[in-house]
């Protein structure tokens, strides 16, 4: 139940997260949004590159998640596009996330924003920060895997 995969319409993705952190566990949570925010989100005007999550007083929040104001918005259009938004999680999940995030070097990182069954969802992950040599090692593994796949494709083309 702890790990969920995003299978809805992907709206925003934090590509830096997998580069900067070892993602160990993921949780799917709902977002508390206003009416015009969800319209803007469905239009794909969201950015979670610089966002982070915190847990205060038994509630989870996402900070610096940028959702542009809706063009045809009304007075319920929020003034601040990077306002703090509440995350909808069960108490058991919040307690588990808090316990994992309290360990040294661990943090809660937003990974993806997507629509599932008509609701906006945020996939958050518990990540351990990578050192510089870890980042270089990950890049080397990715390059080696890409080279292997390229060689296999070439070999299959020759065999035909």
Alpha-carbon span 37 to 35, nearest angstrom? 5
Confidence of residue 95 (pLDDT cuts 50, 70, 90): very high
pLDDT the model gives residue 73: 66
Regarding whether 148 and 123 lie in a shared domain, the answer is no
Region 100-117: what's the mean pLDDT? Answer: 89
pLDDT of 2 > 70? The answer is: no
User: What pLDDT, in 10s, does the model give residues 22-50?
Assistant: 898 999 999 998 878 888 888 888 899 88
Question: Does residue 152 have a pLDDT over 60?
Answer: yes
| Residue 109 belongs to a domain | yes
pLDDT for the residue numbered 61: 94
Q: Are residues 68 and 84 in the same domain?
A: yes
Indicate if the pLDDT at residue 68 is higher than 90: no
Q: What pLDDT is attached to residue 6?
A: 46
Residues 119 and 65 in one domain: yes
What the block records as the tokens of 75 is 């007075």
Domain count, the chain: 2
Copy the structure tokens of residue 142.
Answer: 């990715």
pLDDT of residue 1: 47
Are residues 97 and 33 part of one domain? yes
Q: How confident is the model at residue 155 (pLDDT cuts 50, 70, 90)?
A: confident
For the chain, give the number of residues.
160
């Amino acid at each position: 139940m702890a790990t969920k995969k995003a299978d809805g319409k992907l709206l925003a993705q934090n590509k830096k997260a997998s580069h900067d952190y070892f993602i160990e566990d993921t949780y799917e949570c709902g977002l508390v949004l206003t009416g015009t925010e969800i319209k803007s989100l469905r239009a794909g005007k969201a950015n979670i590159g610089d966002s982070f999550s915190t847990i205060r007083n038994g509630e989870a929040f996402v900070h610096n998640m940028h959702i542009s104001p809706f063009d045809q918005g009304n007075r319920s259009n929020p003034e601040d596009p990077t306002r703090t938004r509440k995350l909808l999680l069960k108490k058991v999940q919040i307690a588990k996330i808090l316990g994992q995030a309290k360990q040294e070097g661990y943090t809660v990182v937003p990974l993806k924003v997507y629509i599932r069954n008509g609701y906006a969802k945020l996939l958050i992950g518990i990540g351990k920060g990578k050192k510089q040599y870890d980042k270089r090692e990950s890049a080397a593994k990715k390059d080696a895997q890409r080279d292997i796949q390229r060689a296999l494709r070439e070999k299959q083309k020759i065999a035909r």
